[in-house]
Amino acid sequence: MTDKNTNNKLISKLFLAREQFILIGLTGRTGSGCTTAANILENASPEFPESSFIRYKSENYFKNLDSKRYEILRNYATANWNSFFSIKVSDLISGYLLNLEAEEVVSFIAHYTPENKEIPIEKISQIVKTGSFGKNLLTKSHVSKSGLRYKEYHDLILNHDKEINGQAIDSNAFVKYLRLIRKFTRDFKKDLISLETGLYVSVYQAAGNSIRKTGKVQFDYQSADFDPASVFHLPATINRVVKCLRKSQSKVFIVIDAIRNQHEARYFRDRYSAFYLISINAPEQDRNEYLQHVHKFNVDQLNAIDLKESGKTSDEHGYFISQNVKKCIEISDIHIFNPRNEIDNSNILKAQLAWYVALMLHPGLVPPTAMERTMQIAYSAKSNSGCISRKVGAVITNADNSVQAIGWNDVPQGQAPCVLRSIDGALNSFDEIDYSIYERTNSDFRQKLTEKKQALNNHKDDLDGRNCSYCFKDVKNSIDSKENQVHTRSLHAEENAFLQITKYGGVGISGGKLYTTASPCELCSKKAYQLGIKQVIFIDPYPGISKDHILGIGSNMPDLVQFRGAVGRGYHQLYDSTIDYKDELALLSES
C-alpha cells in the first residue's frame, strides 16, 4: 500500500512547476490600480477579507454560489501564499535614463514636456544635476559598504550581450540593486513633478517609445530610423531580470507593473506558460476623481494620458512602439474590477487577486462563474469571424444567463467573408458569388484596387504566400475621402446575435443580457435598448458615446458592466483541473 507521505509527494510533483514559478503582467489605464495590485501581491501576508466584508454599492460583491467559490479560494490562497517580487517597468526605464549623461537627460525632458507647458531649461538642468539623477551611484564604479558593485548588476540587465551566470548572482545583492533603482525612480519622479504635475508621465511614456524604436533613450527618437529588433528591447530587459531572479532563487513569483504595449505582453506569453496578463479596470468616474484628487491632474492632462494610452498615434511606427492599453486589455487572460470610490478600501481588489492566484497554484479548485463561462462562449465565437479588421463575439442570454443566441461579426450568410477574398480575385475572377456588381464594374473602385495590388507587388517577397485580402469599407472610403461606417460588409457581432433569434424563431429576450468581447456601438446599443436588454457585459473599456448618449437615457436604461474574470487562454489555464478533485482528495486521505 502506498503511504500517505508518498501520495503527498506525488501530488506535489504534479503542481511543482506552478508552486515554483508564476509570472504576472499587470495592465490597465493610468490610475486604474496596477501599482496597488502589485503592492498587495508583494505583501508577505496579505489579509484577504471574508466575503461578508466585500461590498459594492451597499450590496455583497460575491453573491449566491460565488461567495462559496470565494471562500474556498480564499482559504487556499491564505494557506499557500508566497509573496511576489514586483518588477516595475518604470524602474527599468530609469535604468536606460541612467545610462545617459546629465545634458542628454536635460534635453530629453525639455523635448517631452506636456503640451502647452514650457519649463525653463535652466530649471530642468538644475534639478537633474543637483537632484536624484546627479546623486545616484548605481551606474558609477562605486563599492557599497557591504562591498557590492551595483554597476555590475546594472550592466548585466541592460547589456543584452552579457551572459547570465546564475552562480555569479548574489540573490540578496541583486534584490538590493533592484530596490535601489526603485528608490531612484521614486525620487526622480518627485523631482519631475516638482517642475510640472504631468512631467513624469510624459517623460517616461516618451522614453518607453524611444526604447521600443531605437533600443535606447534619445531625444530625437521620433526622427530616428526604426530598428525592428528594438520593439522587444524593453521586455528583453525585463526578462533578464526574471532570469536573474530565477537563477538565484529556487522559488520565485514575479509581477510586472505594468505592461502597456501589446507586443510586450505577447513576448512573455510566447515564452512562459506560467505567464498571466491581468487587466485592472476602474470605473471611469472613480479613476478620474482619483487622478484629480490624489495626483492633482487636470482635465487636459487626463485627456492627454488617455490619448497616449489609446494606441492612436500619427507616428509611422506607432503600432509597434506606442502604448496601447486598449489592446492590452483586449488580450488579457484575467480582468479584475477595482472600484476606486473609497481610496483606502481595497477589499474587492484583494479578493479577486486571492481568487486568481489560488487558481494559478491549483487549477480547477472551483468552477467558473456564470459571467466567465458566458463570456468564454462569446470569446470562442469571435474566432469564426472572417473580418480582417477585428474579431468580435457576442452572446445573448436570458436573465438567468441561459444562452439564447450567439453571434460574431461577419458578412450575411451566403456571402464570402473578406479574409477568403483577394485583390486578385476581385480584379481577375469576376466571380458573381464572391464579388459584387459594384466591385466588378466600378472603374474608380477597380483603379484603387489596382493601385493597392501594385503597392503589394513591390513587397511580394515579404508576403511569403499570404492571401492579399482587402477591406471594402477602407477602399470605398479612400475613394470618397470620407470615414463612413455604413460601407462595412460585415454585420456587427451583437447585431448578428439579435438576428439569429429572429431568423430561427427564438424566445423573447426582454430583461436579458448581452455579452460582447468588445463594447456595443451606438447602432447596436439602440437595438439592445429596443429589445429590452437589461445588462450589457463588455471587455473593451472604450465604449465611445453609446453609454452617455444611448444606454444612459430614458426610463429603461440597461446596466453597462465591464467584464470581470478569466477568459480565452486564461480560462482554460485556471479552470481545467490537473487531476480530478475526487481522486486528489482520495490520494491525500489514504493512510
The arithmetic mean of pLDDT across residues 366-382, rounded, is 98
Cα separations in angstroms, 150 against 147, 165, 237, 519, 535: 9, 16, 16, 48, 54
With CA atoms as reference, report the closest residue to 27 among 111, 89, 75, 108: 89
What confidence score (pLDDT) does residue 4 get? 58
Mean pLDDT of all residues in the chain? 91
Q: Do 440 and 553 fall into the same domain?
A: no
- pLDDT score of 115 more than 80: no
Q: Do 93 and 146 fall into the same domain?
A: yes
The arithmetic mean of pLDDT across residues 179-205, rounded, is 94
The arithmetic mean of pLDDT across residues 482-495, rounded, is 90
> What is the distance between the alpha carbons of residues 162 and 151, in angstroms, rounded to a whole number?
14
E strands of 353-420, at which residues? Answer: 393-397, 403-408
Quick check: is 5 in a domain?
no
**Angle formed by the axes of helices 102-111 and 199-214, nearest 10°:** 110
Here the cell at position 496 is 448578428
Is the CB of residue 85 less than 8 Å from the CB of residue 196? no
What confidence score (pLDDT) does residue 547 get? 82
> What is the distance between the alpha carbons of residues 318 and 209, in angstroms, rounded to a whole number?
9
Q: Which of 315-324, 491-500, 538-547 has the lowest mean pLDDT?
A: 538-547
Q: Do 362 and 478 fall into the same domain?
A: no
What confidence score (pLDDT) does residue 14 get? 74
Q: Do 238 and 378 fall into the same domain?
A: no
Confidence of residue 444 (pLDDT cuts 50, 70, 90): very high
- pLDDT score of 542 more than 70: no
Q: Tens digit of pLDDT for each residue in 95-113?
A: 999 999 999 999 999 999 9
What confidence score (pLDDT) does residue 541 get? 66
Q: Tens digit of pLDDT for each residue in 572-582?
A: 999 999 889 99
Is the CB of residue 254 less than 8 Å from the CB of residue 24? yes
- pLDDT score of 195 more than 80: yes
Q: Do 105 and 126 fall into the same domain?
A: yes
What confidence score (pLDDT) does residue 301 get? 86
Here the cell at position 230 is 528594438
- pLDDT score of 1 more than 70: no
DSSP string, 491-543: BPHHHHHHHHHHHTT----TT-EEEESS---HHHHHHHHHTT--EEEES-S--
∠266-272-278 over CA atoms, to 5°?
A: 60
Structural domain total, the chain:
3
> What is the distance between the alpha carbons of residues 330 and 312, in angstroms, rounded to a whole number?
15
- pLDDT score of 403 more than 90: yes
Quick check: is 402 in a domain?
yes
- pLDDT score of 76 more than 60: yes
* CA atoms lying within 13 Å on the CB side of residue 2: 13
Quick check: is 151 in a domain?
yes
The arithmetic mean of pLDDT across residues 182-206, rounded, is 94
Confidence of residue 246 (pLDDT cuts 50, 70, 90): very high
Q: Residue 142: what are its φ and ψ, rounded to 5°?
A: -110, 135
Q: Percent of the chain having pLDDT more than 90?
A: 73
The arithmetic mean of pLDDT across residues 54-70, rounded, is 95
Single residue among 331, 366, 401 that ends a domain in this structure: 366
Is the CB of residue 86 less than 8 Å from the CB of residue 23? no
Distance, CA of 556 to chain centre: 33
Confidence of residue 300 (pLDDT cuts 50, 70, 90): confident
Quick check: is 70 in a domain?
no
What confidence score (pLDDT) does residue 392 get? 96
Quick check: is 591 in a domain?
no
Single residue among 487, 507, 538 that ends a domain in this structure: 487
> In this structure, which amino acid lies at residue 128?
V
Here the cell at position 542 is 472604450
Cis peptide preceding 110, ω within 30 of 0: no
Say if strands 252-257 and 21-27 run parallel, antiparallel, or are unpaired: parallel
Quick check: is 344 in a domain?
yes
- pLDDT score of 548 more than 80: yes
Q: Do 340 and 438 fall into the same domain?
A: no
Is the CB of residue 528 less than 8 Å from the CB of residue 520? yes
The residue behind cell 440597461 is 558
User: Using DSSP, how many helices (H) and how many strands (E) does the chain show?
Assistant: 29, 13
Q: Do 234 and 165 fall into the same domain?
A: yes
Here the cell at position 245 is 531572479
Q: Tens digit of pLDDT for each residue in 9-36?
A: 777 777 777 889 999 999 999 999 999 9
- pLDDT score of 6 more than 80: no
Confidence of residue 145 (pLDDT cuts 50, 70, 90): low
Q: Do 307 and 344 fall into the same domain?
A: yes
| CB < 8 Å & 24+ apart, contacts of 373-378 | 374/401, 374/403, 374/513, 374/515, 374/537, 375/515, 375/517, 375/537, 375/539, 375/563, 375/565, 375/567, 376/567, 376/568, 376/571, 377/403, 377/406, 377/515, 378/406, 378/493, 378/515, 378/516, 378/517
> What is the distance between the alpha carbons of residues 292 and 282, in angstroms, rounded to a whole number?
14
Q: Do 281 and 423 fall into the same domain?
A: no
With CA atoms as reference, report the closest residue to 331 among 391, 386, 374: 391
Domain of 395: which CATH number? 3.40.140.10
The residue behind cell 546594472 is 154
Single residue among 487, 522, 545 that ends a domain in this structure: 487
> What is the distance between the alpha carbons of residues 334 and 340, in angstroms, rounded to a whole number?
19
Between residues 140 and 103, the one the model is more confident about: 103
Indicate the length of the chain as a whole number.
591
Is the CB of residue 315 less than 8 Å from the CB of residue 321? yes
The arithmetic mean of pLDDT across residues 199-220, rounded, is 94
If 0-12 CB within 10 Å is exposed, 13-18 middle and 19+ buried, where does residue 159 land?
A: exposed
What confidence score (pLDDT) does residue 149 get? 72
What confidence score (pLDDT) does residue 118 get? 86
What confidence score (pLDDT) does residue 277 get? 98
The arithmetic mean of pLDDT across residues 285-304, rounded, is 89
Here the cell at position 344 is 483606502
Q: Which of 135-144, 165-174, 180-189, 301-310 has the lowest mean pLDDT?
A: 135-144
Is the CB of residue 16 less than 8 Å from the CB of residue 56? no
Give me the domain span that covers residue 425.
418-487
Quick check: is 96 in a domain?
yes
DSSP helix/strand/coil, 442? coil
Q: Do 119 and 189 fall into the same domain?
A: yes
Is the CB of residue 397 less than 8 Å from the CB of residue 512? yes
Confidence of residue 505 (pLDDT cuts 50, 70, 90): confident
> What is the distance between the alpha carbons of residues 556 and 534, in angstroms, rounded to a whole number?
8
E strands of 31-102, at which residues? Answer: 55-56, 59-60, 84-88
Is the CB of residue 519 less than 8 Å from the CB of residue 406? no
What confidence score (pLDDT) does residue 341 get? 82
> What is the distance between the alpha carbons of residues 60 and 508, in angstroms, rounded to a whole number?
30
| CB-CB neighbours of 504 under 10 Å | 8
Q: Which residues contact 437 (CB under 8 A, 6 or more apart)?
A: none
> What is the distance between the alpha carbons of residues 110 and 203, in angstroms, rounded to a whole number?
9
- pLDDT score of 315 more than 80: no
Q: Do 388 and 518 fall into the same domain?
A: yes
> What is the distance between the alpha carbons of residues 428 and 431, in angstroms, rounded to a whole number?
9
Q: Do 517 and 383 fall into the same domain?
A: yes
Cα separations in angstroms, 145 against 39, 150, 152, 172: 29, 11, 16, 14
The arithmetic mean of pLDDT across residues 509-523, rounded, is 94
Quick check: is 63 in a domain?
no
Between residues 304 and 210, the one the model is more confident about: 210
The arithmetic mean of pLDDT across residues 64-82, rounded, is 97
Cα separations in angstroms, 255 against 84, 144, 276, 447, 471: 6, 28, 9, 52, 39
Confidence of residue 75 (pLDDT cuts 50, 70, 90): very high
